[in-house]
Structure 1
Amino acid sequence: MTGPGSAGQVDGPVLSRPVVVRLLVVLAAASGCIDVFCVTRLGGFFASVITGNLVQLGHAVATTKPQLVAGGATAVGGYALGVAGGMLPLRRLGSGWRRRTAGVAVAESVLLAGVAVGWWATGGRPGYAFGLALLGAASAASGVQSVITLSAGIRGAATTYLTGSLTEVVRGAVLDPHRIVAGAGGISRLLGLFVGAVLGALTLTVAPRWAPALAAALVVAVVVVAVGLAQRGATTERGRHG
């Protein structure tokens, strides 16, 4: 029989806060990369910026443009499905980066890899219907990433929608300029998103068929680092108690 604390012992946080903060910056870069790809190559919709997608969708409905309506609905619906799917393995766990978190990140990387393979296989010309499928998969990946971020144990952190992060950074600086360091995590993620968008745009220019692969590679890098550090921590802990 297990006690109430057994779940935390079996799958408790495995990474420290500073490590998680750095991993979230890389995830923000992946988000910037996949968003610049989607908005420039898949019909003008973002993978993660639902506010912008809803505005676009509303405009499409008002102007009766069926193709844009389908694109907006796919982007918003794909994101929602990603959030729901990402929550399933994490819903009974507390906050913090856990072993299952890496598993959810693997699911995100698989979705992004699927987008990359689909884009490459069609020579960067997926057509309307397959383009919708790629947009849906990219949006689902962003939804999964949002769940990972919210579950990671960093209060107020975001890696896919950073309006709140910018608001908090500026608000904190105005209220108390001496506390600007407290907003360093938010600033880092904002810069990560920006750098990811720049890198994604450059890749679209010099090697367009490989553009989505960059976002997938960034998420894979996060998984590899997270699993490696967690394993090293577990080995150290076993040695300490051995």
Structure 2
Amino acid sequence: MSDAARRRDLLVVLLSLNSGATDAIGLLALGGAFTSVMTGNMVLLGVSGIQGDAALALHAGAAIVCFVLGCAVGHRLAGGARDGDPVWPAEVSRALSVEFAVLAIYAVIWMARGGEVSDTAALGLLALNACALGIQSSSVQRFGVPGLSTTYLTGTLTTLVMRLTAGKSLRDVRLSALLLLGLIGGAALGALLSLHAAPFAPLLQLACVGTVLLAARSLVPAPAAA
């Protein structure tokens, strides 16, 4: 693997940290739904129907819809993997820049309210976060690397276990392990900020995506001369 590919993988790990932080903030402060784990939201949607919990159903349903919309936007901006792609296609940065803008809007609203939002505002902020992670999720698919994801990490865990069971070395599952640790670490940091420094929680998300965008500039190939 080239040095550029290793650097790309580390940046994707940072995006998984963002996913963990965003999910933790959604669960603890924005109505109890996930912003990237749509399987979990579908379960919450079913449970809320049996319990008659309209608020939970609304939050879970809104997160699903906005994540799907975000995925569509991310795919339109980043496109699908193509033969001859560089390690970091410029289109990925374009999509992640839109994600950053969406998170910035959420951050401004959140911080203006000191991290204390009404139920209505929480629903809107949850929707923005879900849209942002939808963009992130589909844009990462442009890399065309099997198993490389920042949101669908149940599949990553399954792949890790299968490879270890097949006798692969820890080196062979290093990236999968780092993605999972990034998600867990991000969730811990997001929860810590939500519970003890709520006004500053969005800064973690902005720092993750912003760092990725800045660091990726060295991986994006220069435009061809006319």
When normalised by structure 2's length, the TM-score is 0.90
The CA deviation at 1:106 is 0.6
For the residues of structure 1 that align with 2:63 and 2:222, how far apart are their CA atoms? 39
1:103 to 71, 90, 94: 94
Counting only pairs closer than 5 Å after superposition, residues 23-34 of structure 1 correspond to structure 2 as 23-34=11-22
The CA deviation at 1:137 is 0.5
Q: 1:148-199, CA deviations, whole angstroms, 9 ceiling, x for partnerless residues?
A: 22112322111112111111111111111x4332111111111111111122
Residues 1:159 and 2:146 aligned together: no
Q: Percent identity?
A: 33
Aligned to 1:187: 177
For the residues of structure 2 that align with 1:92 and 1:166, how far apart are their CA atoms? 24
Q: Which runs of 5+ in 1 are unaligned?
A: 1-14
Residues 190, 92 of structure 1: alpha-carbon distance in 2 compared, 3 angstrom cutoff: closer
**Structural RMSD (CA):** 2.0
Counting only pairs closer than 5 Å after superposition, residues 96-135 of structure 1 correspond to structure 2 as 96-135=87-126
The aligned amino acid for 1:215 is Q
Aligned to 2:77: 89
Aligned to 2:24: 36
| 8 Å CA contact retained: 1:21, 1:154 | no
Counting only pairs closer than 5 Å after superposition, residues 1-242 of structure 1 correspond to structure 2 as 16-91=4-79, 94=82, 96-176=87-167, 178-230=168-220, 234=222
**SS where residue 76 of structure 1 aligns?**
helix
Q: Which has the larger radius of gyration?
A: 1
Number of residue-to-residue matches in the alignment: 220
When normalised by structure 1's length, the TM-score is 0.84
| 8 Å CA contact retained: 2:79, 2:139 | no
Q: 1:31-54, CA deviations, whole angstroms, 9 ceiling, x for partnerless residues?
A: 111111111101110110111111
